[in-house]
Structure 1
Amino acid sequence: MVRDTVWRPTVAERGWRSVRGRTTLGATLVVAVALLIGAFSFYGVLSASVHSNAERAAEQRISELTERGDGPGGRTIDSLDDEIVQLLGEDGSVRAASEDAREALGSTPLPLSDDPQTMTIDGEPMLIVSDDLDDDQTLVLAVSVEDGAETLATVATLLAVAVPLLLLLVAVTTWLVVGRALRPVTRIRQEVDGITAERLHQRIAVPESADEIAALATTMNGMLDRLDASAAAQRRFISDASHELRSPLATIRQHAELAQAHPDITSIGELSEVVSEEGLRLQGIVESLLLLARLDEGASGREEPVDLDDIALGEVRRLRAAGLDVDGSGIRAARVNGDPRLLGQLLRNLADNATRHRRERIAIGVEPSDAHVFVTIEDDGAGVPAEERERIFERFVRLDEARSRDAGGSGLGLAIVRGIAASAGGTVTVDDSRWGGARFVVTLPLAR
């Protein structure tokens, strides 16, 4: 069975055609309004000019007839040819008339009016003007305005033909120009449509036009770069998280299988201790991942004034209680806005990191300056190489010396520190301490 293959435009193609159609329609409507306004204005000005010229010519002619000789008498009017002229008495009766006036009107007088007026005589439009004479008589002249009417009719016909043709020309030109302008957009759309999650490495060809279309392609490539980096980071994060979660689960399973296979050599206390330790490790990893997920979503916890010096002094007391040499002399009073629980975890993570990498000493400082407060935690350990100082804030990253699970933690502590600092409107950096180890500096805005 052969199916009829009927082409149907896709949604994107219909959208492209809709943009093209709307642009063409909008441009045509604008030009149509402008042309109509111009056409009516031109016709109105031309009509007023034609009528004004006709009135001036008629008034000039009747003035000539009035001033001819000693004055217009019956004999003078009777001799006029190709003109409709009447001499009306005080009672409005026709005292004299030209030959054309007698043929067209007979004894019917032309209408009198102070202003020129138009009437039709023998099917021809006439302009009627009059002039009062000294002997209480009135000279009335009818001048043909058929030439002016024909001129106006010709102009109206030309406008009626030219305006639609111009609109058609504008519509076709706009349609072609917009179509040509949108053709690169269609190509970009097709290329982007072919980029899937497995092909995020592909990029859009940037045209050499250096216009908005090229800027669009550059912007799309920048977006694809960010998506590719995000996808790579997500895959790396999932891989690292799976590895970190698999390790304690494997330990628990191995000890459980060993206890099942050799119950005589494996004590319940030993098994419970292993399960408890690895369970706590699993719990810590899961809680850290949940916290990072909330920070990624922009969660900053509750906002309230927090005394950073109190949190820092609490960490000093905690570390000293563990027998560590901690210098807290650099702690000054400072208050910020934030979540006390998150800020406490920030300092706790940095203090634990310094504890793992120290040799003998640790120093914690809080120093307000202008609108910010600087929290410093430093140790006298091996320090952080310059090329690693940005990478250590990534998730599940541990330096070579701290690769062991016991020494290096889960690799999420510093990532959490940066996330908490960012959520509070601050930053965190690492450089060399005064003893050659690592010094972490957290910059936070002071409470106003």
Structure 2
Amino acid sequence: MRGRTTLGATVVVAVALLVGALSFYGILSASIHGATERAAEQRLEELGERAGGPGGGRGIDALEDEILQVIAPDGSVRAASEEARDKLGSTPLPVDDDPRTTTIDGERVLVVSEDLDRDETLVLAVSMEDDAETLATVATLLAIALPLLLLLVAATTWLVVGRALRPVTRIREEVDGITAERLHQRVPVPETGDEIAALATTMNGMLDRLDAAATAQRRFVSDASHELRSPLATIRQHAELAQAHPEVTSIGELAEIVSEEGLRLQGIVESLLLLARLDEGAGTHDEAVDLDDIALSEVRRLRAAGFEADGTGIHAAQVHADPRLLGQLVRNLADNAARHSRGRVAIGVTPAEGYVFVTVEDDGPGVPVEERERIFERFVRLDEARSRDAGGSGLGLAIARGIAASARGTLAVDDSRWGGARFILTLPLP
């Protein structure tokens, strides 16, 4: 990983340096060429003033270090400097409105021209050898400096990347050794306070969640096994007793016990399957549901069972949800309230500010503050409800919260008006 990172960074830097060098060379070449043109045009203007005066031609003939010609209208050379005569003889320089380059005796020159008053043209050729030498020197320096700079960048990147990725290597090695049996281990967090430290902290948080989930799963499997084993053990115990001592246990008594424990076993299995579907986010059949009808049905059911059920707080409200699951949610809350109450239960439905609040409260012992989240865990029974006959399987509230979450709602518990427990279901209105 370190090698690939260094190579990638080096390639990027190399491309950037190459583009920068070419751009610099191009800009420098254009700048030097422009300066030469301006100097040549300025010199031509000075020589034009001299050539336009009396005896201008003779003044040009006396020039030695410049290639200068006066071209007649017919294209012949009317006057030329000494160097122009030596290198060109009677051959005229090219005349053009714009500066142009040509070669004289193998030397690259820049040719500029200017019209004189006598319909003649003054033409000057300026050597570009100095420009070429300057650019050649710059190109040589760039050719030497770029590889050296690239090597320096590569070495620096190798060292910096190696130092930066060293904590990543330790994290990777530590994570490679973490298995399902070693989820308690954590990766080292470097004291740099940078992104690597943030990555290690995030990874440790992920491991914390995985460890908690694995622990909860193991506890759930253990509790589920215990709950399923209990009715099976009861059925087997009575069956063996009836088989060994048929005169003690009648067929009717055995059938009653098997039926009761079978129903209990069926309820546990169905609850577990429902929880599994809720955990998997299985789709539900959403439709318009009248919450007030569901709540009033539970009030009538509780009254028929002998409870003092108050339904005066039920108001009309309609939500979009799965009617079967929503009915089971309210039924679980009502059964939980009836199981722990001393005789009084109240159910309310109140729409307000885009939400509907369903409350189920009782006059029982209530739920301690420190237990108000734990009671929604699976197979959890508080000390007061340890008996399976009184406390159920410990899945009702877990199912209720799962259904609430699937309906985009929440379920919480606090104190009722009578000091017992009040469960509050919050659902969004359509």
Q: Same fold (TM over 0.5)?
A: yes
Return the offset for 1:130: 4.4
Q: Among 131, 136, 149, which residue is 2:132 paired with? A: 149
Question: Residues 445 and 93 of structure 1: is their aligned pair in 2 closer, same or farther, counting only changes over 3 Å?
Answer: closer
Residues 1:257 and 2:240 are matched in the alignment: yes
CA distance in 2, matches of 1:370, 1:254: 56
Partner of residue 31, structure 2: 45
Q: How do residues 237-256 of structure 1 correspond to structure 2 at under 5 angstroms?
A: 237-256=220-239
Partner of residue 36, structure 1: 22
Q: What secondary structure is seen at the aligned counterpart in 2 of 1:328?
A: strand
Residues 1:299 and 2:285 are matched in the alignment: no
Residues 1:414 and 2:400 are matched in the alignment: no
- Of all paired residues, the percent bearing the same amino acid is 72
CA distance in 2, matches of 1:379, 1:426: 22
CA distance in 2, matches of 1:292, 1:358: 26
* Amino acid of the structure 2 residue aligned with 1:436: G
Q: Is the 8 A contact 2:99 2:110 kept in 1?
A: yes
Q: Is the 8 A contact 1:373 1:444 kept in 2?
A: yes
* Amino acid of the structure 2 residue aligned with 1:63: G
Question: Residues 398 and 131 of structure 1: is their aligned pair in 2 closer, same or farther, counting only changes over 3 Å?
Answer: closer
Q: Among 326, 329, 350, which residue is 1:367 paired with? A: 350
Partner of residue 71, structure 1: 55
Q: How do residues 215-230 of structure 1 correspond to structure 2 at under 5 angstroms?
A: 215-230=198-213
Q: What CA RMSD, in Å, does the superposition of the two structures yield over aligned residues?
A: 2.5
CA distance in 1, matches of 2:212, 2:137: 70
Q: How do residues 2-401 of structure 1 correspond to structure 2 at under 5 angstroms?
A: 13=1, 17-57=3-43, 59-60=44-45, 62-63=47-48, 65-66=50-51, 70-74=54-58, 76-134=59-117, 138-299=121-282, 301-401=284-384
Return the offset for 1:18: 3.8
Q: Is the 8 A contact 1:332 1:365 kept in 2?
A: yes
Q: Is the 8 A contact 1:343 1:420 kept in 2?
A: yes
Q: What secondary structure is seen at the aligned counterpart in 2 of 1:333?
A: coil
Q: Is the 8 A contact 1:306 1:336 kept in 2?
A: yes
Return the offset for 1:243: 0.8
Q: Is the 8 A contact 2:381 2:394 kept in 1?
A: yes
Question: Residues 67 and 232 of structure 1: is their aligned pair in 2 closer, same or farther, counting only changes over 3 Å?
Answer: same
Query: Which consecutive unaligned segments of at least 5 residues does structure 2 have?
Result: none
CA distance in 2, matches of 1:79, 1:434: 122
CA distance in 1, matches of 2:190, 2:408: 40
* Amino acid of the structure 1 residue aligned with 2:210: L
* Amino acid of the structure 1 residue aligned with 2:323: P
Return the offset for 1:30: 3.8
CA distance in 2, matches of 1:82, 1:133: 22
Q: What secondary structure is seen at the aligned counterpart in 2 of 1:377?
A: strand
Superimposed CA distance per residue, residues 288-310 of structure 1 (whole angstroms, 9 cap, x where no aligned partner): 01111111122352111111111
* Amino acid of the structure 2 residue aligned with 1:439: R
Greater shift in the superposed pair: 252-261 or 145-154: 145-154
Q: What secondary structure is seen at the aligned counterpart in 2 of 1:202?
A: coil
Question: Residues 94 and 372 of structure 1: is their aligned pair in 2 closer, same or farther, counting only changes over 3 Å?
Answer: closer
CA distance in 2, matches of 1:149, 1:35: 17
Return the offset for 1:285: 0.5
* Amino acid of the structure 2 residue aligned with 1:155: V
CA distance in 2, matches of 1:50, 1:324: 108
Aligned residues: 430
CA distance in 2, matches of 1:125, 1:438: 101
Q: Is the 8 A contact 1:55 1:127 kept in 2?
A: no
Return the offset for 1:88: 4.6
Q: Is the 8 A contact 2:170 2:188 kept in 1?
A: no
Q: What secondary structure is seen at the aligned counterpart in 2 of 1:205?
A: coil
Partner of residue 406, structure 2: 423
Return the offset for 1:102: 3.3
Question: Residues 99 and 254 of structure 1: is their aligned pair in 2 closer, same or farther, counting only changes over 3 Å?
Answer: same
Question: Residues 300 and 429 of structure 1: is their aligned pair in 2 closer, same or farther, counting only changes over 3 Å?
Answer: farther
Return the offset for 1:17: 4.4
Q: What secondary structure is seen at the aligned counterpart in 2 of 1:425?
A: coil
CA distance in 1, matches of 2:67, 2:413: 109
Superimposed CA distance per residue, residues 333-379 of structure 1 (whole angstroms, 9 cap, x where no aligned partner): 11111111111111111111122112222222222222222222222
* Amino acid of the structure 1 residue aligned with 2:8: R
Query: Which consecutive unaligned segments of at least 5 residues does structure 1 have?
Result: 1-12
CA distance in 2, matches of 1:274, 1:155: 102
* Amino acid of the structure 1 residue aligned with 2:354: A
Q: What secondary structure is seen at the aligned counterpart in 1 of 2:190?
A: coil
Q: Is the 8 A contact 1:300 1:339 kept in 2?
A: no
Q: What secondary structure is seen at the aligned counterpart in 2 of 1:431?
A: strand
Q: What secondary structure is seen at the aligned counterpart in 2 of 1:374?
A: strand
Q: Is the 8 A contact 1:303 1:337 kept in 2?
A: yes
* Amino acid of the structure 1 residue aligned with 2:22: L
Q: Is the 8 A contact 1:309 1:333 kept in 2?
A: yes
CA distance in 2, matches of 1:161, 1:47: 24
CA distance in 2, matches of 1:430, 1:94: 111
Superimposed CA distance per residue, residues 414-433 of structure 1 (whole angstroms, 9 cap, x where no aligned partner): 11111111111222222222
Superimposed CA distance per residue, residues 262-304 of structure 1 (whole angstroms, 9 cap, x where no aligned partner): 2232222222211111111111011001111111122352111
Question: Residues 51 and 328 of structure 1: is their aligned pair in 2 closer, same or farther, counting only changes over 3 Å?
Answer: same
Partner of residue 8, structure 1: none
Partner of residue 438, structure 1: 421
Question: Residues 176 and 41 of structure 1: is their aligned pair in 2 closer, same or farther, counting only changes over 3 Å?
Answer: farther
